Amino acid sequence: MIIDSTVMLNLLLVTLACFSAGAVGALAMAPWTNLSRLVGNAGALLGALGAFALGIAGIVGGNLQLTVPDLLPIGGAALGVDRLSAFFVVVIAAGAFPAALYALGYTREYAGKHSLAGMGFAFNVFIATMILVVLARNVLTFLFLWEAMSLASYFLVMTEPEREDTVDAGWVYFVMTHAGFAALFMGFLLLARATGTMDFANWSVAAIELDPTSRNLIFVLLALGFGSKAGVIPLHVWLPRAHPAAPSHVSALMSGVMIKLGVYGLVRVAFDWLGTGPVWWGGTMLIVGAVSAVLGVLYALVEHDLKRLLAYHSVENIGIILLGLGGGMLFQAHGLEALAALALIAALYHTLNHAAFKSLLFMGAGAVVLATHTRNMEELGGLIKRMPQTATFFLVGSVAIAALPPFNGFISEWLTFQSLLLSFQISAHTVNLIFALGIAALALTSGLAAACFVKAFGITFLALPRSEPAALAREVEWTMRAPMALLAFACIALGVAPFVILAPLEAAVFDLMGAHADMKFDWSMVVANDSFGWVAPLWIALGLGAFLMAIPLALRSIGANKRRRYYETWGCGRALQTARFEYTATAFANPFKRVFALLYRPVKELDIEFHPESRYFVRTIAYYNEGRLIFEDALYRPLLRMIQALAREARVLQSGNVHGYLVYILVALVALLILTV
């Protein structure tokens, strides 16, 4: 189906108009807080709908090339839609629509305390710039929009500046995102200078002619820049600070959607702009992905802050996506285009799936935080009885992120496994070993993720409440439950009917790489590499449903006793059951802390306060078992110390003498003139 480019242009303009109306309207109605809040979020909602339509139109075949000559220097502002960009627009819209709907209810709490007008403005700008970034088609458009997106998200993170951890989070986020921006800036300018053009479309042809050193350098710079936005280890330090600090609908967007723009950039770098690279590019990507996946989930396991746990899981899932990307790059470097396409499809499918279930989980966490005013899992519990619908939606998200059938996480991880297993078709021993370790890492990650979400869901929602606020929690309003229901439905639908996404993904990957993926699928089955492996998710779901209904009927027919009596939990003879007897999150994570002590380097402290009269009587016992953040200690602090030492040395230049400064300007000017002429 060919969609006219005027239709596409109209869709784009409508989308932008909605976001602008939302942004400006929110600011204009600032004195009337409720109205400003409604206008801001409604504008974002409608804009997300428009963007969704635009994305679908782009996937189906619509084309759009738009250049506004004088808006930006060197080439103007250039936008374009191709299938890959359209797919990412769909991902963004699919995350933004529920987030905006959720915000309608969630932001009510901020009325009177924080600027809702500012939040509405920043929210609309954030989503609009994200959509435009994936549509950008030349360097300055991309960089300008990237920076706008980072600034908008910074202001959203800093919504509650009176909290200490928010200021710290905002600061780290600001520095990391600009360090990444600097790397991107350098990489883009080097590539533009080497190929002679600022337009993305011409790079893939011209980049093959570049000499290997500059190509490698550009790859490293761009990978660092996009990697820091995606949150790969060791550039992830901003993620576990910024995502919990932001309001929950913003966390859902940042975690579900914004870090995917890093993935978008990496896909463009690996498969579009720089052509087919040497083997070490793919190998490094795969190893970085494996490390991020395993370390992300290991850090998540010992977290008790519900939102920080989810943030670390984003690091883990980005690692899984990079495993697919790295695998694809390795296949391409060895000429196996069909397998590369399969790996890329697996990675992109996981991108969409992660957007769906991570947004769902953050919204659930936001509902819990709203109801109980605490993020600490150790103070929660029993919420499944107080907030049954939120609990069910969070359960769907948990089962999906643990990659269990028949939900969506299972399909994308299955595809990733299949593409990694097919690596035996490469006959290079080092590469085979890297793939084998990648498979082991992915398996370990999925097992640990299941463990972590047993903890997250079990401690937060099950058994008895561990504190007064948890015992008094109430279910949240429908505007917050409806987007969760929508995303839960999406998780189930994407898991049971993968062909809905696989068909457009295959088309997008074919446009990008020119190769068909090594898989077949129809309405019920997905088959990898002819007969290497297959799965029929719809049948599995039907089978599970059929047996679930048949077993109770069978039991009734053989006359099994169905009487049920409610009584207290067995307590080994103790007098009463309180929440103090339940298992805690710290205890749940203890086996992992012990097994992986090399990573956590836990610091244990035991403080016992005795009764002043006699040491036989104990008043209080305090037990601390904290893990240390090894990346911060080993990588960032020495780096910061070095920079601070350099800055102290450079202070000599700041003499305070104006004449000295004028001489500096003269020297710099002369040097520039000599260098460039």
Please list every residue from 542 through 581 that binds another protein, using CB under 8 A: 543-544, 547-548, 551-552, 555, 558, 560-572, 577, 579, 581
Choosing from 418, 434, 496, 512, the residue that interacts with another protein (CB under 8 A) is: 418
Closer residue to another protein in complex, CB, 493/525: 525
The reply to whether 27 sits near another protein by the rule CB under 8 A is no
Taking the complex as a whole, how short is the minimal distance between the CB of residue 624 and another protein, in angstroms?
Answer: 20
The reply to whether 671 sits near another protein by the rule CB under 8 A is no
Taking the complex as a whole, how short is the minimal distance between the CB of residue 278 and another protein, in angstroms?
Answer: 22
- Write the DSSP symbol of residue 580: G
Could you tell me if 314 and 294 are in contact, meaning their C-beta atoms sit under 8 angstroms apart?
A: no
Closer residue to another protein in complex, CB, 20/577: 577
Taking the complex as a whole, how short is the minimal distance between the CB of residue 424 and another protein, in angstroms?
Answer: 5
The reply to whether 447 sits near another protein by the rule CB under 8 A is yes
Closer residue to another protein in complex, CB, 580/619: 580
Taking the complex as a whole, how short is the minimal distance between the CB of residue 445 and another protein, in angstroms?
Answer: 9
Taking the complex as a whole, how short is the minimal distance between the CB of residue 504 and another protein, in angstroms?
Answer: 24
The reply to whether 450 sits near another protein by the rule CB under 8 A is yes
Q: Residue 336: phi, psi to the nearest 5?
A: -90, 80
Taking the complex as a whole, how short is the minimal distance between the CB of residue 165 and another protein, in angstroms?
Answer: 28
Could you tell me if 482 and 99 are in contact, meaning their C-beta atoms sit under 8 angstroms apart?
A: no
Taking the complex as a whole, how short is the minimal distance between the CB of residue 323 and another protein, in angstroms?
Answer: 13
Taking the complex as a whole, how short is the minimal distance between the CB of residue 563 and another protein, in angstroms?
Answer: 4
CA dist 534 to 14, 331, 521, 559, 593, Å?
42, 21, 9, 39, 36
Q: Residue 233: phi, psi to the nearest 5?
A: -70, 135
Q: Beta strands 618-626 and 64-68: pairing type?
A: unpaired
How many residues appear in the chain? 677
Closer residue to another protein in complex, CB, 76/533: 533
Nearest Cα to Cα of residue 97 among 420, 450, 484, 381 = 484
Could you tell me if 96 and 16 are in contact, meaning their C-beta atoms sit under 8 angstroms apart?
A: no
Nearest Cα to Cα of residue 217 among 182, 195, 190 = 190
Closer residue to another protein in complex, CB, 547/610: 547
Closer residue to another protein in complex, CB, 64/434: 434
Choosing from 108, 114, 178, 385, the residue that interacts with another protein (CB under 8 A) is: 385
Nearest Cα to Cα of residue 86 among 499, 486, 512 = 512
Please give the residues from 458 up to 487 whose contact with another protein meets the rule CB under 8 A.
458-459, 461-464
Helix ranges restricted to H, 209-305? 212-230, 239-245, 248-253, 259-268, 279-301
Closer residue to another protein in complex, CB, 595/603: 595
Residue written as token pair 């533009």: 192
Taking the complex as a whole, how short is the minimal distance between the CB of residue 351 and another protein, in angstroms?
Answer: 20
Query: Which of 232-240, 268-276, 377-385, 619-627 is the region at the interface with another protein (rule: CB under 8 A)?
Result: 377-385
Buried-state track 340-356, b at ≥16 Cβ within 10 A, e below 16? bbbbbbbbbbbbbbbbb
The reply to whether 536 sits near another protein by the rule CB under 8 A is yes
Choosing from 122, 218, 403, 486, the residue that interacts with another protein (CB under 8 A) is: 403
Closer residue to another protein in complex, CB, 205/440: 440
> What 3-state DSSP class applies to 336?
coil
Buried-state track 258-296, b at ≥16 Cβ within 10 A, e below 16? bbbbbbbbbbbbbbbbbbbbebebbbbbbbbbbbbbbbb
Bridge-partner residues for 67, per DSSP? 78
Residues 6+ apart with CB under 8 A from 495: 400, 405, 406, 407, 408, 409, 410, 411, 537, 541
The reply to whether 616 sits near another protein by the rule CB under 8 A is no
The reply to whether 309 sits near another protein by the rule CB under 8 A is no
Taking the complex as a whole, how short is the minimal distance between the CB of residue 319 and another protein, in angstroms?
Answer: 15
Nearest Cα to Cα of residue 361 among 473, 442, 248 = 248
Q: Residue 78: phi, psi to the nearest 5?
A: -120, 125
Taking the complex as a whole, how short is the minimal distance between the CB of residue 291 and another protein, in angstroms?
Answer: 15
Could you tell me if 49 and 97 are in contact, meaning their C-beta atoms sit under 8 angstroms apart?
A: yes
Closer residue to another protein in complex, CB, 440/608: 440
Could you tell me if 107 and 249 are in contact, meaning their C-beta atoms sit under 8 angstroms apart?
A: yes
Torsion of CA 421, 423, 425, 430, to 10 degrees: -130
Closer residue to another protein in complex, CB, 32/547: 547
The reply to whether 523 sits near another protein by the rule CB under 8 A is no
Query: Which of 109-117, 149-157, 275-283, 378-386 is the region at the interface with another protein (rule: CB under 8 A)?
Result: 378-386
Nearest Cα to Cα of residue 361 among 264, 491, 258, 467 = 491
Could you tell me if 467 and 379 are in contact, meaning their C-beta atoms sit under 8 angstroms apart?
A: yes
Binding residues for another protein, how many (CB under 8 A)?
84
Query: Which of 43-51, 329-337, 345-353, 456-464 is the region at the interface with another protein (rule: CB under 8 A)?
Result: 456-464
Choosing from 56, 117, 302, 442, the residue that interacts with another protein (CB under 8 A) is: 442
The reply to whether 275 sits near another protein by the rule CB under 8 A is no
Closer residue to another protein in complex, CB, 531/676: 531
Could you tell me if 356 and 426 are in contact, meaning their C-beta atoms sit under 8 angstroms apart?
A: no
Closer residue to another protein in complex, CB, 166/353: 353
Closer residue to another protein in complex, CB, 429/651: 429
The reply to whether 405 sits near another protein by the rule CB under 8 A is yes
Taking the complex as a whole, how short is the minimal distance between the CB of residue 330 and another protein, in angstroms?
Answer: 15
Taking the complex as a whole, how short is the minimal distance between the CB of residue 425 and another protein, in angstroms?
Answer: 10
Closer residue to another protein in complex, CB, 405/469: 405
The reply to whether 436 sits near another protein by the rule CB under 8 A is yes
Closer residue to another protein in complex, CB, 361/399: 399
Residues 6+ apart with CB under 8 A from 283: 326, 330, 430, 431, 434
The reply to whether 402 sits near another protein by the rule CB under 8 A is yes
Please give the residues from 116 up to 175 whose contact with another protein meets the rule CB under 8 A.
none
Closer residue to another protein in complex, CB, 30/579: 579
Query: Which of 28-36, 175-183, 236-244, 380-388 is the region at the interface with another protein (rule: CB under 8 A)?
Result: 380-388
Please give the residues from 584 up to 613 whose contact with another protein meets the rule CB under 8 A.
584, 587-592, 594-595
The reply to whether 623 sits near another protein by the rule CB under 8 A is no
Alpha-carbon distance 375 to 527, whole Å? 42
> What 3-state DSSP class applies to 467?
coil
Could you tell me if 244 and 164 are in contact, meaning their C-beta atoms sit under 8 angstroms apart?
A: no
